Amino acid sequence: MSDLGWPLQRAVALHAGATAVIDGERRVSYGELARRVNALGNLAADRIGFLGANSLAHMECWLGVPAAGKVLVDLNYRLAPEELAFLVRDAGIELLIADPERRAVAETLGVELLEDYETVVAGPPVAPARIDEDALAAISYTGGTTGRPKGVMLSHRNLLANALHNLVATGHTADDRWLHVCPMFHVAGTSNVFACTWVGATQVILPRFEAAAVLAAIERERITHSVFVPTMLAMLLEASEGANVSTLRHLQYAASPIAPELQRRVLEWLPECDVVQFYGMTEAAPTVTQLTAADHRERPERLASMGAPVAGVQVEVRDVIDGVGELWVRGANVMLGYWNRPEATADALVDGWYRTGDLVRTDADGYLYMVDRAKDMIITGAENVYSVEVEAVLTAHEAVSEAAVFGVPDERWGEAVHAVVVASPGTTADELIAHCRSRIAGFKIPRAIDVRGEPLPKSGAGKLLKSTLREPFWAGRERRVS
């Protein structure tokens, strides 16, 4: 294992004249990309932040800042200024690179701003540093759905290992044309950047997700590969009439569970395309498991699974009760720990293993099935209810596109099962409760269902913000469980 300068060095040696990045009207070869990236070594700061949408500059910072022996802190630009200010202070950012759209916010954060990015990358290239593979490369903050966000410390080894795991799982080649649209401030948005660079693939960047723009880019740039979160897939399907996506050979989805009906529709929409699911987390840089294209097309009984571990990652299911246990992960991709959070680190990392907090079960073939996240477990009348199981039943109803299930205070039972769903007009709570009654035990059925037409709140990475929905029910209480 080496450092994060390695993938680009190989790409230049083999594909210097090939197109590396397409960002709008701009096209950059691998030779030019390397010259620009190496010039980032001229930046004097050791801990550098980036605040902005997907762009050539954003990708260059991922390729160049760690390779120069510095630490990249990629900030979620969707956060409020107060939240961003906390991250700047917590990470000790010394220099912030902001795109023009975020410049005004950046000026309020109390940190030095880079005045002219293009002047820096036009400067003299600096020879790549020799860096220990276990040196800190990036601090990536988790979504902060509960409490203060935690900075996940990812080393050069972590990110390179993840790239290698993705190379094995996906089979990247120089002929691929990857569309990067998931936000690069999240590891899901950069999980394929190093793998694509390593093989010299063409990488197309969109600043943000807009269904029409994505479909147009797929056709215009002859995109062969991309990754989306399930919410994005639903929006693409809604806008897909008349779109030409015939060049797509490989589509990945990740970051949140997918509704069975959406899964079915995607497979029908792209009959000749490999459709693949990935599961992971920031702490694993992020890839842990894969549900392959063959699993999707040939093994329908596995469609509810999160797949099996990718090559290079080891998993164990521990503390199993009634077939359900916590998923533990080990591999070269697992984080160094949490920045300035020694207690949280000691709780999460045990003898080289990362405790995910996700509750899973396994089948006879070793495939994993998400049951719930430990913090989302509901205890009602001394019975344990796993919310993901109830959500899966609700989203199996043809009218339901999204569902969130959580516990709310109940004087008799301690907690009652509550659901918020996004459903077609005219759908009633009674109809959905009746749907649940034939599929799950009585104590698992939601006592109340809030039916709405607007999408449920999500983080910048597309993950459901269940805490936002749950919080009003527990407001004013010292404890968030009963």
Q: How much is the pLDDT for 466?
A: 86
- C-alpha angle with apex 285: 280 to 289, nearest 5 degrees? 30
Q: How much is the pLDDT for 453?
A: 92
Distances (CA, A) of 248 to 153, 242, 258, 318, 480: 34, 15, 20, 39, 45
Average pLDDT, stretch 82-111? 95
Q: Which residue in this structure is represented by tokens 């070869």?
A: 29
Q: Which residues contact 297 (CB under 8 A, 6 or more apart)?
A: 267, 275
Average pLDDT, stretch 427-432? 96
How are beta strands 47-51 and 71-75 bridged, if at all? parallel
Q: Which residues contact 437 (CB under 8 A, 6 or more apart)?
A: 445
Q: How much is the pLDDT for 128?
A: 78
Q: How much is the pLDDT for 61?
A: 98
Q: How much is the pLDDT for 477?
A: 66
Give 67-77 pLDDT, tens digit per residue: 999 999 999 88
Q: How much is the pLDDT for 1?
A: 60
Average pLDDT, stretch 143-147? 44
Q: Which residues contact 212 (CB under 8 A, 6 or more apart)?
A: 239
What proportion of the chain, given as a percentage, has pLDDT over 90?
A: 77
Give 433-445 pLDDT, tens digit per residue: 999 987 887 888 9
Average pLDDT, stretch 298-314? 95
Q: How much is the pLDDT for 200?
A: 98
Beta partners for residue 27, in sequence order:
22
DSSP-derived 3-state class of residue 143: coil
Give 342-378 pLDDT, tens digit per residue: 999 999 999 999 999 999 999 999 999 988 777 677 8
Average pLDDT, the chain: 92
* Res 145 pLDDT > 60: no
Give 372-403 pLDDT, tens digit per residue: 777 677 878 757 787 888 998 899 999 999 99
**What is the CB-side half-sphere exposure of residue 9 using CA atoms within 13 A?**
10
**Domain 377-474: what homologous superfamily?**
ANL, C-terminal domain (3.30.300.30)
Q: How much is the pLDDT for 146?
A: 42
**Model confidence, pTM:** 0.84
Q: 122: burial class by Cβ within 10 Å (0-12, 13-18, 19+)?
A: exposed
Task: Show me where the domains of the chain are located.
Answer: 6-362, 377-474
* Res 82 pLDDT > 60: yes
Tell me the pLDDT band of 120, cut-offs 50, 70 and 90.
very high
What proportion of the chain, given as a percentage, has pLDDT over 70?
A: 96
CATH code for 6-362?
3.40.50.12780
DSSP string for 213-261: HHHHHHHHTT--EEEE-HHHHHHHHHT-TT---TT--EEEE-SS---HH
Q: How much is the pLDDT for 291?
A: 98
* Res 130 pLDDT > 60: yes
* Res 147 pLDDT > 60: no
* Res 455 pLDDT > 70: yes
Radius of gyration of the chain (CA): 22
